[in-house]
Chain A
């Protein structure tokens, strides 16, 4: 049986989690203090995912950039591709939190959304 030691990134607590694996089969998860940790550990050893946060160019706003995030996690190996699409995005002010900046980014089924309000200049 394979043992993997992980540090949970679900929240800033950073619980130390031990996962016991047989091939792709998760046998046990210990050390987590909540459900988020269990899900993180299960995903991390089978198909790791991350939320990507960045900024996109704003036109006609009171600020030059709007902060954005992937609305859900995306596969870790797609981070660079997702960044390319976010960097190419240009949005017009005004913008509200939750507005879609890139729809279905890189075919992941996940939208990139604004995380702050920008007023029209």
Chain B
């Protein structure tokens, strides 16, 4: 059996940043396992710009952002294996992997960092009625076809879901000569970033129909038309509002799901809200020495935050390997209520906490001129006004360790949204 101090599952932005941080923290034997034929993950197909403003103070495209980290991994001579699929992770951190070259093999890891990312919600999970012809793609699949392989999936496009990839693909397909007829979104608000509505839809006059969904798909072999209709507040289609669009392509951008089959099999405790592992202040799961970061933990909107979070997972995994992570129990519970859907992390062990801890969360609806409040037990200690908050955008609050130590016996931290 092979032996590594840290095995990182996934060579996308999270895995790369975790590896670099673990190396900087003095860990020698690090191995990244990546199932694709190159490092960088989904960033390689995200050729649009807007990445890295927080991290590098300049605006990069996805491949450029990825390469900044790939370069560091190469310079640090961190080992990685491509075309390698991880089949299993055991609770005592034995990683089973396989590739065409090496067959199946096992690695004993001192620590494991889960960085598998997320998958798009497929048609099968959406219950769209109608035929099942060719021409229906997830937005990310279309993105890969256009940007990496150089194929156009079609010429007349309807997009269901206003997630960022769908919006980005609306612009991308338009620039390549396709006609994007409409973007339909089931919810009364967009699932994507505001800037993407402006520069991907408004710039090209593509209509966004909120509270609309696809109610029929036509086409025996290849897609010929879809019908969309308005929905009521219970998301039920309203009869009489149907509109038929002839098209050869339907893109689905209806949410991302953290890819946690490996985590679940290992016995990692999962959050039903994020579909990702439940982690403590060190981004450690309920299995000691197994850490999680990036979109496998919770779906992020900015890769900059992924890198930042992953670096912390890398540092903490390094501490674990060096025996510097005290194993005292996490004693402060963090609860999200009143509009805040979840927080990452969800517990804090104050002895293991850094001077500053970033709590990330998402809201469940659109809030205007509202406050993000933090309570230590029953006392409100933070009350930050936000002009606008939406489910598509991640929010954060920063907790200071010295504020927590001022409250001995603190049991519970609550994050909530308040109107005043």
CB <8 Å contact, A52 and B175: yes
A79 within 8 A of B: yes
Q: List A contacts of B67 (CB < 8 A).
A: 97, 116-117
B148 within 8 A of A: yes
> Which single residue of chain A is at the shortest CB-CB distance from B302?
A12
A-binding segment of B56-64, B121-129, B266-274:
B56-64
Contact of B147 among A9, A13, A57, A65 (CB under 8 A): A65
Q: List A contacts of B193 (CB < 8 A).
A: 12, 14
Proximity bits, A6-22, B CB within 8 Å = 1, else 0 = 11111111101000000
Number of A-B contacts (CB under 8 A): 88
Contact of A115 among B54, B61, B199 (CB under 8 A): B61
Q: List A contacts of B301 (CB < 8 A).
A: 12
A-binding segment of B20-28, B45-53, B336-344:
B45-53
> Which single residue of chain B is at the shortest CB-CB distance from A82?
B175
Contact of A54 among B47, B50, B302, B387 (CB under 8 A): B47
CB <8 Å contact, B63 and A67: yes
Contact of A53 among B44, B49, B150, B393 (CB under 8 A): B49
> Which single residue of chain A is at the shortest CB-CB distance from B303?
A12
A42 within 8 A of B: no
CB <8 Å contact, A57 and B175: no
Proximity bits, A48-74, B CB within 8 Å = 1, else 0 = 001111110100000111011100000
CB <8 Å contact, A16 and B199: no
Contact of A11 among B59, B61, B64, B197 (CB under 8 A): B59
A78 within 8 A of B: no
Q: Report the Cα distance A118→B411, complex, angstroms.
A: 54
CB <8 Å contact, B61 and A69: yes
CB <8 Å contact, A116 and B63: yes
Q: How many residues of A contact B (CB 8 A)?
A: 33
Describe B's contact surface by its main secondary structure: helix
Q: Report the Cα distance A115→B175, complex, angstroms.
A: 18
Q: List B contacts of A63 (CB < 8 A).
A: 148
Contact-residue size bin, chain B (C-beta under 8 Å from the other chain): 20 to 34
- Contact A16 to B388, CB < 8 A, known contacts A51-B59, A67-B61, A117-B67: yes
CB <8 Å contact, B47 and A53: yes
| Chain B contacts with A in 62-76, Cβ cutoff 8 A | 62-64, 67
A76 within 8 A of B: yes
- Contact A14 to B393, CB < 8 A, known contacts A7-B194, A65-B149, A69-B49: yes
Q: Report the Cα distance A65→B48, complex, angstroms.
A: 15
CB <8 Å contact, A115 and B195: no
B198 within 8 A of A: yes
B406 within 8 A of A: no
CB <8 Å contact, B195 and A7: yes
CB <8 Å contact, A64 and B195: no
| Chain B contacts with A in 368-394, Cβ cutoff 8 A | 387-388, 393
The 10 closest A-B pairs by CB, nearest first: A14-B194, A116-B63, A67-B47, A9-B195, A11-B53, A65-B150, A115-B61, A14-B195, A7-B194, A64-B150
Beyond known contacts A10-B195, A67-B62, A116-B67: 15 more, CB 8 A cutoff? A6-B198, A9-B50, A9-B199, A11-B54, A12-B193, A12-B195, A54-B175, A55-B147, A65-B149, A67-B47, A67-B61, A97-B67, A115-B64, A116-B44, A116-B63
Q: Which residues of A contact B (CB under 8 A)?
A: 6-14, 16, 31, 36, 50-55, 57, 63-65, 67-69, 76, 79, 83, 87, 97, 115-117
Q: Can you show 17 pairs from A to B with CB atoms below 8 A apart?
A: A8-B195, A9-B50, A10-B53, A11-B50, A11-B54, A11-B59, A14-B193, A16-B387, A53-B61, A54-B47, A57-B150, A63-B148, A65-B148, A65-B149, A76-B203, A97-B64, A115-B61
